[in-house]
Structures are given as C-alpha cells and as structure tokens.
Chains A and B, each alone.
Chain A
Amino acid sequence: MSATNVLFDAPGPRARRASLIGSVVSLAAIAAGAAWIIWILAAPRVSGGITLPGMFDASRWDILTDPQVWGFIGTGVAATLQAAAVAAAGAVALGVVLSLLRSSRLPWVRIPTAILLEFFRGMPVLLMMLFILLVASTGAFWAVVLALIVYNGTLIGEALRAGLAALPRGQREAALSLGMREFQSKLLVEFPQAFRQMLPIIVAQLVVLLKDTSLGYIVGYNEIIRSNMNNLASFFGNRYLFTLFVVTLVIYLTINLLLSWLARWLSWRTASGSGTVAAGADPGTADPTSAIRLVQAASTAHQPGTGTHL
C-alpha cells in the first residue's frame, strides 16, 4: 500500500489538527528522550571515590586533535576497505559463476551446486572465518576475505539466479530461434539483463559485506573496530573508550549510508530505465507488483526470496 491515503478520506480540519497535535507531542517526547540521554552522558561519573568528567568533557576528546591518532584510525579504515574491496570483487565473481552453474540444464551440475549453496547459506560467516583460520591457516586477512567471498558469493548467486528466472521466457526463446546455443543465450542475452535488474540487490549485499568485515574484530584482523577500540583505547586508556566508539560509529555510518544511497539510486535508475521488467530491489518504493513477481520467480524456482539477508 504505497498510497496509504487510499485507506481513509482526505483529512479534514479536525484530523489535520489531531495530526499536528500528535506531531508536537511526539516531537516533545523524542526531544525529552534525547535530552535525558545527553544529560546522563554529560553527568560526571563517580567510580571508587574518584570523580571522572562527563562524556562531553573536553578532556575526553582532546586526542582527536592529535594527527597521529587520525593516522592510526586511517590505517584501520584502510584495512576495512581493503578487505571489503577484495571480498566484494571475489563475491561478485563467485556469484556470477554460481548463478550460471545453478541454472544449468545439466542435473549433475545443478544439483551439487544447489546443495553447496544451501550449505554455505545456512552457516554463520564467523564459523567460516574460524574454519578457514584453523584448517587452511591463512592468517586473519584471508580468513576474513575468503569467508566473506564464499558467503556473499552464494547470496549474490541466489539473487542473480532469481533474476534469470524472473526474465520473460520470450528472451530465451528469441535467442534460441536466432540460432544461439543455450550457453550463448544465457551469457549474451539473459545474464546481462538479470545482472542489470539485480544490481541494486547486489550493491545492498555489498553493504552487508562491508559491515561483516567488522567480524574481523573477533578473529583478530586489525580492521576499524579492532584498531580503534582495542589498540587505541588500550593505549590511551578507558577514558577515551566512548570517544573512540563515537568516531568508529560515525565512520561506519558515513561509508554505509553512502553505499546504501548508491544502491537506492541504482534501483531508482533501473526502475525508471528502459522498458525492462521492473526490478524488485526495494519493494518499499518500487512498483509493488515487482516484489510479487520476484517472489513468484523465487517460488517457481523452489528457493526462498532474495529480499532480506542481513
């Protein structure tokens, strides 16, 4: 129901006044909540008889003026982005291969791929990282990257396969009637369209991938959280823990929101582009029938929908 106003008549003066009052009251409630949190944070802490300054005291933030600290933070950001970039390239490549194998006509290719996909999709990435770390003993960087490639590759492969299944059958038939082989039709006609349609979902999955590089914190890769929270916080002491947390949060939010906006922009561009089948990337804003079509495609292909993988 993208247009909720279908549900009730256009608001009259009373309804508009009620909505205005509701707005003011809820704004006041939210502001009060925010003020309460800020007040709690700003209050000085007493621990073991010693009074420490509140969270917004300058003595808790002074390290941020030190360029060397920013140098350290920069190394952490670089490490995260490096792992994410390598893993993203690998995951897209693996996804392309898996989607082609999974939608193959040959049962001895299709079925083992399906089982493999099912296996990797149901496992936590963290367990995969531990697995690679211990069994292949590759070091933390490759443990993080390889696990992310395998996990996100299977999910991107699933999305691409659903995209292939959602294409109108006429595309394939037309290609075959032109004398193309099965594989030519798949690679030259069907796949480019599926990829274009699924691009927003793939970018959304890459946001997930970027977030999941933070699991490196647990397996010992020096990404942002580890380099900020473990290395810097233990060097400067607990006093700066909150400061460094806020810095890390802001960095992550900036990177991820930029990527999410890219995904949304792509989805908007694909949806409003030439007369291809509308992509079902963001059912919230896109044409509602596209979400249904995607679900139908997924269900005819005996697989869960590609919508949510966090």
Chain B
Amino acid sequence: MTQLWSLMPEFWEGLRMTVLLLAVSGGLSLVLGTVITALRISPVPVLRWFAAIWTEVARNTPLTLVFFFTAFVLPMLGVRAPFLLLALVALTYYTSPFVAEALRSGINGVPVGQAEAARSIGLGFGQTVTLVVLPQAFRMTIPPLINVYIALTKNTSVAGGFFVVEMFATTRQLVNDNGNIVLPLLLVAAALYLVVTVPLGFAAVQLEKRWVVSR
C-alpha cells in the first residue's frame, strides 16, 4: 500500500499530461471541426467536396497510423517539433471529423418546418439561422460533442505509445518498475481515466434529458 501510495506523484504527472492533451486537442479540434462543418454546408460545391473528402479520409485512418505519421514520417521529412506538439496535431486531425459530424447532425436534427416557419413570418437568412436554427441545433449538438470528447480522452492513451508520457505511458513504466503490484497499478490507472470520463458522460446524460424534454 505504501509502495502504491509513493507512486501517486507519477500518476498525478501522467493525469496532468492526459488532461492537457484532452484540453488542447479538444479545443483545437472544435475549431477545426467548426471550419469543416462550415465548409460542409457552404453554398460553394468545391468546398463541400473538400470537407467531405477530408471527413472520409480522416475518420477511416487508424489513429495509430496518424500518430505514426506525425511521430516518425514528419521528422523524416524534416519537421523538427517536440513530440507533445506532434501528438496534439495527430489528435486534433483525428478528432476534427467526428466533431464536424456531431455539429452537422445537430443542424440536421432541426426539423425543416422550423426554418420554413421562420421564413414564412418574414425572417431573413441571418435571422432564421441565428434566432431559430442555431439555438435549437446547439442543444442537439452538446450531448454528441461530449461523447466525442469522452472518446478523445480515451484516445489520448495512444500518445503514450509515441513518446508522450501521459497516463498510459506512465502506467506502463510503473508496471515495468514495480512487478509486484501490477494489478493495483492498472486499477488505479483505470480509475483515473474513469475520473475524467464518467463525469463527462453524466453531464451528457443530464443535458440530453433536460434539453430533449424542453423541445
């Protein structure tokens, strides 16, 4: 027990790195995903195709392969950057199409009748979008977005295989160093992941319940 307790600082460092990866790549992929959604519903066909191709390619590439590209192929091509930055790039790229799909499904979830009604009482394009469609799309979007972030939390563990010392890499190192307490170490790591993901999932459920009812 004391042995396990003495390793808590390492776990804390790992958890901090995981949360850092989650926060930064989550924020960046929200930006990138919004841009892709905007392209996806834009009136210019070329931009729509570009966004569609981006989405298809990014969500059908395994995250491990994306990480491989940023961690090995990019440096081979002459890009010099710390591994943390490369990991953030990989996570952002991989998460962006899922964010875009969540946003798009929110917009698609608003019944056409809402926009028709808004148009028929004389609202213009800007008013229809900002006053009627987006407020409803927003509440439809938050729960699936939270699910994307839960998945992102779990995906940050792949960074541990590519030179970023976060929870997974920390756990692997600690397990190698402390062969006598493998099981407790793994359970602590699992519990720490759940500390991040379960509250997020709980928030998604609560928001979903409140917002679906009030619709």
Contact = CB atoms under 8 A, between A and B. Distances in A.
Contacts of B128: 7
B152 to A, nearest CB: 8
Given A3-B112, A135-B182, A23 B44 contact: yes
Interface string B87-121: 00000001100100110110111111001100100
A226 to B, nearest CB: 9
B85 interface: no
Contacts of B76: 238, 241-242
A295 interface: yes
Contacts of B60: 207, 211, 252-253, 256-257, 260
B2 interface: no
A211 B60 CA distance: 8
Contact of A295 (B98, B143, B160): B143
A295 B142 CA distance: 12
Q: Of residues B175, B204, B208, B215, which shows the largest number of chain A Cβ atoms within 10 Å of its Cβ? A: B208
Interface in B169-194: 171-172, 175, 182-183, 186, 189-190, 193-194
Contacts of A302: 205, 209
A283 B111 CA distance: 12
Given A23-B46, A118-B198, A305-B143, A295 B61 contact: no
Q: Of residues A27, A124, A238, which shows the largest number of chain B Cβ atoms within 10 Å of its Cβ? A: A124
Contacts, number: 220
Nearest to B186: A131
A40 B26 CA distance: 29
A308 B144 contact: yes
Given A6-B119, A122-B194, A307-B105, A134 B186 contact: yes
Interface string A234-249: 0000100110010011
A192 interface: no
B69 A19 contact: no
A122 B144 CA distance: 15
Q: Of residues A118, A249, A257, A310, which shows the largest number of chain B Cβ atoms within 10 Å of its Cβ? A: A310
B47 A123 contact: no
Contact of B144 (A15, A40, A207, A305): A305
A1 B115 contact: yes
B1 interface: no
Given A122-B150, A135-B182, A291-B109, A310 B143 contact: no
Interface stretch (A101-109, A180-188, A212-220, A271-279): A212-220
Interface string B36-52: 00000101111100100
A296 interface: yes
Interface in A160-219: 207, 211-215, 217-218
A131 to B, nearest CB: 5
In the A-B complex, list the 3 residue pairs whose CB atoms are closest, starting with the nearest: A218-B161, A214-B62, A124-B157
Given A7-B119, A19-B45, A135-B183, 18 more contacts: A2-B108, A22-B44, A123-B190, A126-B161, A127-B186, A211-B61, A215-B158, A215-B161, A252-B62, A257-B56, A284-B101, A288-B111, A292-B109, A298-B208, A299-B213, A305-B144, A308-B144, A310-B148
Interface of B: 41, 43-47, 50, 56-57, 59-65, 68-69, 72-73, 76-78, 94-95, 98, 101-102, 104-105, 107-112, 115-116, 119, 125, 128-129, 133, 137, 140, 143-144, 146-148, 150-158, 160-161, 168, 171-172, 175, 182-183, 186, 189-190, 193-194, 197-198, 201, 204-205, 208-209, 212-213, 215
13 contacts: A1-B108, A3-B112, A22-B44, A26-B46, A30-B50, A126-B160, A215-B161, A245-B69, A252-B62, A295-B143, A302-B209, A310-B95, A310-B98
Interface of A: 1-4, 6-8, 11, 15, 19, 22-23, 26-27, 30, 40-41, 45, 55, 118-119, 121-127, 130-131, 134-135, 207, 211-215, 217-218, 225, 229, 238, 241-242, 245, 248-249, 252-253, 256-257, 260, 283-284, 288-289, 291-292, 295-296, 298-299, 302-305, 307-310
